[in-house]
Protein backbone atom coordinates (compact mmCIF):
# COMPACT_ATOMS: atom_id res chain seq x y z
CA UNK A 1 0.00 0.00 0.00
CA UNK A 2 1.12 3.53 -0.78
CA UNK A 3 -1.00 5.94 1.24
CA UNK A 4 -4.35 5.71 2.96
CA UNK A 5 -6.85 8.50 2.49
CA UNK A 6 -10.50 9.51 2.72
CA UNK A 7 -12.61 9.44 -0.34
CA UNK A 8 -16.24 9.62 -1.56
CA UNK A 9 -18.02 6.95 -3.61
CA UNK A 10 -19.42 8.48 -6.81
CA UNK A 11 -20.99 5.48 -8.55
CA UNK A 12 -20.96 1.76 -8.74
CA UNK A 13 -21.01 -0.61 -11.70
CA UNK A 14 -20.90 -4.26 -10.73
CA UNK A 15 -17.99 -4.74 -8.36
CA UNK A 16 -16.22 -1.54 -9.38
CA UNK A 17 -16.69 1.74 -7.53
CA UNK A 18 -15.71 5.16 -8.86
CA UNK A 19 -14.22 6.97 -5.90
CA UNK A 20 -13.35 10.66 -5.73
CA UNK A 21 -10.27 11.63 -3.80
CA UNK A 22 -8.20 14.83 -3.88
CA UNK A 23 -9.43 15.95 -7.29
CA UNK A 24 -9.13 12.61 -9.02
CA UNK A 25 -11.46 9.71 -9.61
CA UNK A 26 -10.14 6.22 -8.89
CA UNK A 27 -11.60 2.82 -9.74
CA UNK A 28 -11.74 0.71 -6.59
CA UNK A 29 -12.97 -2.70 -5.54
CA UNK A 30 -14.08 -3.90 -2.13
CA UNK A 31 -11.61 -5.48 0.22
CA UNK A 32 -12.71 -8.99 1.19
CA UNK A 33 -13.89 -8.21 4.70
CA UNK A 34 -15.96 -5.20 3.56
CA UNK A 35 -17.46 -7.28 0.80
CA UNK A 36 -19.78 -9.45 2.85
CA UNK A 37 -23.32 -8.27 2.09
CA UNK A 38 -21.84 -5.71 -0.28
CA UNK A 39 -25.13 -4.55 -1.79
CA UNK A 40 -25.87 -2.28 1.17
CA UNK A 41 -22.41 -1.93 2.59
CA UNK A 42 -21.07 0.72 0.25
CA UNK A 43 -23.38 3.31 -1.28
CA UNK A 44 -23.08 6.31 -3.54
CA UNK A 45 -22.15 9.16 -1.20
CA UNK A 46 -20.35 7.01 1.31
CA UNK A 47 -17.06 8.29 2.72
CA UNK A 48 -14.62 5.45 2.56
CA UNK A 49 -11.04 4.62 3.46
CA UNK A 50 -8.86 3.50 0.57
CA UNK A 51 -5.71 1.55 0.20
CA UNK A 52 -3.58 2.08 -2.89
CA UNK A 53 -1.57 -1.01 -3.72
CA UNK A 54 1.83 -1.31 -5.42
CA UNK A 55 0.29 -3.00 -8.45
CA UNK A 56 -1.84 0.11 -9.01
CA UNK A 57 -5.06 -1.44 -7.74
CA UNK A 58 -7.20 0.37 -5.17
CA UNK A 59 -9.36 -1.23 -2.49
CA UNK A 60 -12.06 0.12 -0.19
CA UNK A 61 -11.07 -0.81 3.34
CA UNK A 62 -13.84 0.70 5.40
CA UNK A 63 -16.93 2.92 5.41
CA UNK A 64 -17.39 5.90 7.73
CA UNK A 65 -20.57 6.43 9.75
CA UNK A 66 -23.34 7.98 7.67
CA UNK A 67 -25.00 11.24 8.62
CA UNK A 68 -28.05 10.49 6.46
CA UNK A 69 -29.45 7.76 4.29
CA UNK A 70 -31.89 8.07 1.42
CA UNK A 71 -33.97 4.92 1.39
CA UNK A 72 -36.45 3.34 -0.87
CA UNK A 73 -39.01 0.92 0.45
CA UNK A 74 -40.40 -1.51 -2.06
CA UNK A 75 -44.15 -1.97 -1.77
CA UNK A 76 -46.16 -5.17 -2.29
CA UNK A 77 -44.89 -8.69 -2.20
CA UNK A 78 -41.21 -7.84 -2.50
CA UNK A 79 -41.20 -5.59 0.54
CA UNK A 80 -37.91 -4.49 1.92
CA UNK A 81 -35.77 -1.43 2.26
CA UNK A 82 -33.10 -0.47 -0.22
CA UNK A 83 -30.76 2.42 0.18
CA UNK A 84 -30.17 4.81 -2.70
CA UNK A 85 -27.49 7.14 -1.38
CA UNK A 86 -25.64 8.08 1.80
CA UNK A 87 -24.78 11.45 3.33
CA UNK A 88 -27.31 13.41 1.31
CA UNK A 89 -27.95 16.97 2.56
CA UNK A 90 -30.99 17.86 0.48
CA UNK A 91 -33.36 16.54 -2.16
CA UNK A 92 -34.09 18.64 -5.21
CA UNK A 93 -37.48 17.60 -6.57
CA UNK A 94 -37.85 18.65 -10.19
CA UNK A 95 -41.07 18.87 -12.18
CA UNK A 96 -41.79 20.57 -15.49
CA UNK A 97 -44.48 23.00 -16.58
CA UNK A 98 -45.10 20.97 -19.73
CA UNK A 99 -43.58 18.09 -21.70
CA UNK A 100 -44.27 16.22 -19.49
CA UNK A 101 -47.25 18.07 -18.03
CA UNK A 102 -46.99 19.16 -14.38
CA UNK A 103 -48.44 16.33 -12.29
CA UNK A 104 -49.29 17.50 -8.74
CA UNK A 105 -49.74 13.97 -7.44
CA UNK A 106 -46.32 12.82 -8.67
CA UNK A 107 -44.67 15.96 -7.30
CA UNK A 108 -46.40 15.48 -3.94
CA UNK A 109 -45.25 11.90 -3.89
CA UNK A 110 -41.61 12.86 -4.42
CA UNK A 111 -41.90 15.51 -1.71
CA UNK A 112 -43.47 12.98 0.67
CA UNK A 113 -40.61 10.54 0.13
CA UNK A 114 -38.08 13.27 0.92
CA UNK A 115 -40.02 14.16 4.08
CA UNK A 116 -40.13 10.48 5.10
CA UNK A 117 -36.33 10.49 4.84
CA UNK A 118 -36.25 13.65 6.94
CA UNK A 119 -34.28 15.48 4.30
CA UNK A 120 -34.68 19.16 3.41
CA UNK A 121 -36.32 19.71 0.04
CA UNK A 122 -36.05 22.27 -2.72
CA UNK A 123 -38.77 22.22 -5.36
CA UNK A 124 -37.79 23.17 -8.91
CA UNK A 125 -40.33 24.00 -11.59
CA UNK A 126 -38.41 23.57 -14.83
CA UNK A 127 -39.19 24.39 -18.48
CA UNK A 128 -40.60 27.76 -17.44
CA UNK A 129 -39.88 28.79 -21.04
CA UNK A 130 -42.84 26.62 -22.02
CA UNK A 131 -45.20 28.28 -19.52
CA UNK A 132 -46.42 30.87 -22.00
CA UNK A 133 -48.11 28.32 -24.18
CA UNK A 134 -51.56 27.93 -25.61
CA UNK A 135 -54.27 29.85 -23.79
CA UNK A 136 -55.25 28.14 -20.57
CA UNK A 137 -51.96 26.40 -19.87
CA UNK A 138 -50.67 26.95 -16.36
CA UNK A 139 -48.02 29.53 -15.62
CA UNK A 140 -45.22 28.43 -13.32
CA UNK A 141 -46.24 30.99 -10.67
CA UNK A 142 -49.64 29.27 -10.28
CA UNK A 143 -47.96 25.90 -9.96
CA UNK A 144 -45.66 27.17 -7.21
CA UNK A 145 -48.39 28.70 -5.01
CA UNK A 146 -49.58 25.56 -3.15
CA UNK A 147 -46.00 24.62 -2.29
CA UNK A 148 -44.96 28.07 -1.18
CA UNK A 149 -48.07 28.11 1.02
CA UNK A 150 -46.99 24.78 2.52
CA UNK A 151 -43.59 26.29 3.36
CA UNK A 152 -41.44 24.87 0.57
CA UNK A 153 -38.82 26.89 -1.20
CA UNK A 154 -39.60 26.91 -4.90
CA UNK A 155 -37.29 27.88 -7.77
CA UNK A 156 -38.59 28.36 -11.30
CA UNK A 157 -36.01 27.44 -13.91
CA UNK A 158 -35.38 26.90 -17.57
CA UNK A 159 -32.41 24.88 -18.67
CA UNK A 160 -33.04 26.43 -22.08
CA UNK A 161 -33.15 30.17 -21.28
CA UNK A 162 -31.14 30.09 -18.06
CA UNK A 163 -33.93 31.49 -15.90
CA UNK A 164 -33.44 30.68 -12.21
CA UNK A 165 -30.12 28.93 -12.72
CA UNK A 166 -28.14 31.40 -10.62
CA UNK A 167 -30.50 30.84 -7.69
CA UNK A 168 -30.34 27.08 -8.08
CA UNK A 169 -26.56 27.23 -8.36
CA UNK A 170 -26.32 29.02 -5.02
CA UNK A 171 -28.46 26.35 -3.38
CA UNK A 172 -26.13 23.55 -4.48
CA UNK A 173 -22.85 24.87 -3.14
CA UNK A 174 -21.17 23.17 -0.20
CA UNK A 175 -23.57 20.23 0.10
CA UNK A 176 -24.65 16.98 -1.46
CA UNK A 177 -27.95 17.17 -3.36
CA UNK A 178 -30.01 14.44 -4.96
CA UNK A 179 -31.95 15.40 -8.08
CA UNK A 180 -35.18 13.50 -8.41
CA UNK A 181 -38.50 13.84 -10.19
CA UNK A 182 -40.44 12.30 -13.07
CA UNK A 183 -38.59 11.22 -16.19
CA UNK A 184 -38.07 13.85 -18.89
CA UNK A 185 -38.54 16.94 -16.72
CA UNK A 186 -34.95 18.04 -17.32
CA UNK A 187 -32.96 16.95 -14.24
CA UNK A 188 -29.85 16.08 -16.26
CA UNK A 189 -30.32 19.11 -18.54
CA UNK A 190 -30.39 21.44 -15.52
CA UNK A 191 -27.22 19.92 -14.11
CA UNK A 192 -25.50 20.25 -17.49
CA UNK A 193 -26.60 23.88 -17.77
CA UNK A 194 -25.31 24.61 -14.27
CA UNK A 195 -21.99 22.90 -14.87
CA UNK A 196 -21.32 22.18 -18.55
CA UNK A 197 -18.37 19.92 -17.74
CA UNK A 198 -20.76 17.28 -16.41
CA UNK A 199 -21.92 16.24 -19.89
CA UNK A 200 -24.73 14.08 -18.53
CA UNK A 201 -26.76 12.16 -21.03
CA UNK A 202 -30.12 13.78 -21.78
CA UNK A 203 -32.97 12.68 -23.95
CA UNK A 204 -32.50 13.51 -27.62
CA UNK A 205 -35.04 16.06 -28.76
CA UNK A 206 -35.81 13.88 -31.76
CA UNK A 207 -36.11 10.60 -29.84
CA UNK A 208 -39.42 8.83 -30.12
CA UNK A 209 -41.50 9.40 -27.01
CA UNK A 210 -40.52 6.33 -25.03
CA UNK A 211 -42.94 6.65 -22.16
CA UNK A 212 -41.47 5.20 -18.98
CA UNK A 213 -37.96 4.96 -20.37
CA UNK A 214 -35.29 6.68 -18.39
CA UNK A 215 -32.36 8.46 -19.97
CA UNK A 216 -30.45 8.36 -16.71
CA UNK A 217 -30.22 4.76 -15.54
CA UNK A 218 -28.44 4.64 -12.18
CA UNK A 219 -27.81 7.04 -9.33
CA UNK A 220 -24.52 8.77 -10.05
CA UNK A 221 -22.73 11.37 -8.02
CA UNK A 222 -20.68 14.18 -9.52
CA UNK A 223 -18.50 16.89 -8.09
CA UNK A 224 -20.32 20.22 -8.26
CA UNK A 225 -17.58 22.81 -8.44
CA UNK A 226 -16.14 24.00 -6.23
CA UNK A 227 -17.40 22.32 -3.07
CA UNK A 228 -20.68 20.47 -3.64
CA UNK A 229 -21.82 17.11 -4.89
CA UNK A 230 -24.87 16.36 -7.03
CA UNK A 231 -26.51 13.01 -7.56
CA UNK A 232 -28.51 12.59 -10.75
CA UNK A 233 -31.08 9.80 -10.55
CA UNK A 234 -33.53 8.11 -12.85
CA UNK A 235 -36.25 9.71 -10.73
CA UNK A 236 -39.07 7.22 -10.66
CA UNK A 237 -36.96 4.15 -10.60
CA UNK A 238 -34.87 5.30 -7.69
CA UNK A 239 -37.25 6.96 -5.35
CA UNK A 240 -40.58 7.61 -7.03
CA UNK A 241 -41.95 4.16 -6.46
CA UNK A 242 -41.41 4.05 -2.75
CA UNK A 243 -43.85 2.37 -0.52
CA UNK A 244 -44.60 4.83 2.27
CA UNK A 245 -45.83 3.69 5.66
CA UNK A 246 -49.09 5.29 6.86
CA UNK A 247 -47.22 7.18 9.59
CA UNK A 248 -44.78 8.54 7.00
CA UNK A 249 -47.67 9.97 5.03
CA UNK A 250 -49.34 11.52 8.07
CA UNK A 251 -46.18 13.53 8.72
CA UNK A 252 -45.18 14.19 5.11
CA UNK A 253 -47.48 17.13 4.28
CA UNK A 254 -46.26 19.96 6.52
CA UNK A 255 -49.32 22.19 6.10
CA UNK A 256 -51.59 19.26 7.00
CA UNK A 257 -49.43 17.98 9.86
CA UNK A 258 -49.46 21.50 11.38
CA UNK A 259 -53.26 21.40 11.65
CA UNK A 260 -53.48 17.93 13.19
CA UNK A 261 -53.25 19.05 16.86
CA UNK A 262 -56.53 20.92 16.35
CA UNK A 263 -58.44 17.84 15.20
CA UNK A 264 -61.00 16.33 17.60
CA UNK A 265 -59.15 13.00 17.71
CA UNK A 266 -55.44 12.68 18.51
CA UNK A 267 -55.07 9.98 15.90
CA UNK A 268 -57.17 11.72 13.25
CA UNK A 269 -56.10 10.67 9.77
CA UNK A 270 -58.13 13.42 8.08
CA UNK A 271 -60.12 10.94 6.02
CA UNK A 272 -63.53 12.22 7.07
CA UNK A 273 -63.43 11.84 10.86
CA UNK A 274 -65.75 14.21 12.79
CA UNK A 275 -64.43 17.67 13.71
CA UNK A 276 -61.29 17.33 11.62
CA UNK A 277 -59.31 20.59 11.47
CA UNK A 278 -57.89 19.67 8.06
CA UNK A 279 -61.37 19.14 6.65
CA UNK A 280 -62.45 22.49 8.11
CA UNK A 281 -59.39 24.26 6.70
CA UNK A 282 -60.03 22.76 3.31
CA UNK A 283 -63.68 23.92 3.41
CA UNK A 284 -62.52 27.53 3.86
CA UNK A 285 -59.85 27.19 1.19
CA UNK A 286 -56.88 27.15 3.56
CA UNK A 287 -55.62 23.77 2.35
CA UNK A 288 -55.07 23.39 -1.38
CA UNK A 289 -57.42 20.73 -2.83
CA UNK A 290 -54.73 18.98 -4.89
CA UNK A 291 -52.48 18.65 -1.84
CA UNK A 292 -55.27 17.19 0.29
CA UNK A 293 -56.19 14.83 -2.54
CA UNK A 294 -52.55 13.65 -2.83
CA UNK A 295 -52.36 13.19 0.93
CA UNK A 296 -55.48 11.06 1.02
CA UNK A 297 -54.48 9.04 -2.01
CA UNK A 298 -51.00 8.30 -0.60
CA UNK A 299 -52.45 7.44 2.80
CA UNK A 300 -54.99 5.03 1.28
CA UNK A 301 -52.23 3.36 -0.73
CA UNK A 302 -50.07 3.06 2.38
CA UNK A 303 -52.91 1.65 4.48
CA UNK A 304 -53.73 -0.84 1.75
CA UNK A 305 -50.09 -1.96 1.47
CA UNK A 306 -49.73 -2.22 5.24
CA UNK A 307 -52.58 -4.75 5.61
CA UNK A 308 -50.87 -7.98 6.63
CA UNK A 309 -53.31 -10.24 4.77
CA UNK A 310 -53.05 -8.50 1.41
N1 LIG B 1 -38.08 23.66 -23.40
C2 LIG B 1 -37.30 23.11 -22.48
N3 LIG B 1 -36.85 21.84 -22.66
C4 LIG B 1 -36.05 21.31 -21.71
C5 LIG B 1 -35.66 22.03 -20.55
N6 LIG B 1 -34.90 21.22 -19.78
C7 LIG B 1 -34.79 20.05 -20.44
N8 LIG B 1 -35.49 20.09 -21.60
C9 LIG B 1 -35.63 18.99 -22.58
O10 LIG B 1 -36.36 17.93 -21.96
C11 LIG B 1 -35.90 16.64 -22.40
C12 LIG B 1 -35.59 15.74 -21.23
O13 LIG B 1 -34.47 16.25 -20.51
P14 LIG B 1 -33.54 15.33 -19.56
O15 LIG B 1 -32.57 16.28 -18.95
O16 LIG B 1 -33.02 14.15 -20.28
O17 LIG B 1 -34.62 14.86 -18.47
P18 LIG B 1 -34.37 13.98 -17.15
O19 LIG B 1 -35.26 14.54 -16.10
O20 LIG B 1 -32.93 13.90 -16.84
O21 LIG B 1 -34.94 12.53 -17.58
P22 LIG B 1 -34.56 11.06 -17.02
O23 LIG B 1 -33.06 10.94 -17.00
O24 LIG B 1 -35.22 10.13 -17.99
O25 LIG B 1 -35.18 10.94 -15.63
C26 LIG B 1 -34.69 16.95 -23.31
O27 LIG B 1 -35.13 16.91 -24.65
C28 LIG B 1 -34.28 18.36 -22.92
O29 LIG B 1 -33.68 19.06 -23.98
C30 LIG B 1 -36.16 23.38 -20.39
O31 LIG B 1 -35.91 24.09 -19.41
N32 LIG B 1 -36.96 23.86 -21.39
MG1 LIG C 1 -31.64 12.29 -16.65
ZN1 LIG D 1 -58.08 15.60 11.05
User: What is the mean predicted confidence (pLDDT) over 189-206?
Assistant: 83
Q: Which residues line ligand 1 (CB under 6 A)?
A: 126-127, 129-130, 158-160, 183-189, 202-203, 205, 214-216, 234-235
Alpha carbon nearest to ligand 1 atom 1, residue: 127
CA distance 254 to 156: 21
Alpha carbon nearest to ligand 1 atom 29, residue: 205
Residue 23 CB-half CA count within 13 A: 1
Taking the CA of residue 236 as reference, the ligand 1 atom at the shortest distance is: 25
> 227 alpha carbon to ligand 1 midpoint, in Å?
25
Report the candidate in 16, 22, 15, 135 with the shortest Cα–Cα distance to residue 7: 22
246-306 placed in CATH 3.40.462.20: no
pLDDT at 260 over 60: yes
Taking the CA of residue 235 as reference, the ligand 1 atom at the shortest distance is: 25
The architecture (CATH level 2) of 5-63 comes to: Beta Barrel (2.40)
Segment holding 16, helix H or strand E: strand 16-21
Angle between helices 289-306 and 140-150 (to 10 degrees): 60
Ligand showing the shortest atom-to-Cα distance for residue 192:
1
Report the candidate in 121, 118, 112, 129 with the shortest Cα–Cα distance to residue 171: 121
* Residue range 87-114, pLDDT digits in tens: 999 999 999 999 999 999 999 999 999 9
Taking the CA of residue 130 as reference, the ligand 1 atom at the shortest distance is: 1
Of the two residues 294 and 242, the one the predictor is more confident about is: 294
> 265 alpha carbon to ligand 1 midpoint, in Å?
45
User: What is the mean predicted confidence (pLDDT) over 290-303?
Assistant: 94
User: What is the mean predicted confidence (pLDDT) over 225-239?
Assistant: 78
Taking the CA of residue 201 as reference, the ligand 1 atom at the shortest distance is: 16
Q: Tell me which CATH homologous superfamily contains domain 69-240.
A: P-loop containing nucleotide triphosphate hydrolases (3.40.50.300)
* Residue range 122-160, pLDDT digits in tens: 999 999 999 875 554 556 668 999 999 999 999 999 999
Report the percent of the chain where pLDDT is more than 90: 62
Contact 137, 102 (CB under 8 A): no
Peptide bond into 225 cis (omega under 30): no
Cβ neighbours for 109, distance < 8 A, ≥ 6 positions apart: 240, 294, 298
Contact 156, 144 (CB under 8 A): yes
Burial class (CB in 10 A: 0-12, 13-18, 19+), 90: middle
Supply the DSSP symbol for 105.
H
Can you give the pLDDT at residue 2? 39
* Residue range 107-127, pLDDT digits in tens: 999 999 999 889 999 999 999
* Residue range 25-62, pLDDT digits in tens: 999 999 876 665 545 688 899 999 999 999 999 999 99
CA distance 242 to 83: 11
Average pLDDT, the chain: 85
> 93 alpha carbon to ligand 1 midpoint, in Å?
14
- pTM for the model: 0.88
Q: In whole angstroms, what separates CA 241 from the centre of its chain?
A: 11
Query: Ligand 1: which of 161, 179, 184 to mutate, most ligand atoms within 8 Å of CB?
Result: 184
pLDDT at 252 over 70: yes
CA distance 88 to 153: 18
CA distance 88 to 223: 13
Confidence of residue 17 (pLDDT cuts 50, 70, 90): very high
pLDDT at 210 over 50: no
> 184 alpha carbon to ligand 1 midpoint, in Å?
5
Provide the residue ranges of all domains of the chain, joining segments of one domain with +.
Answer: 5-63, 69-240, 246-306
Amino acid sequence: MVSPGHAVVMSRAGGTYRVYRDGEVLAASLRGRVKHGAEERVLVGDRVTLELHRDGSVTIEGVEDRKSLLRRRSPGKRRGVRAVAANVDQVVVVGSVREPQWDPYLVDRFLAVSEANQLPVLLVINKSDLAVGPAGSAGSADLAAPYEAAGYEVVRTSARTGEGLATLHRRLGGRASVFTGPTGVGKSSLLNALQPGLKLRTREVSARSGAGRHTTVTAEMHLFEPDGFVIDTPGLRDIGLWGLEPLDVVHAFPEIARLAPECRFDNCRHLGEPRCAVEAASARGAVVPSRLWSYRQLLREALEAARPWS
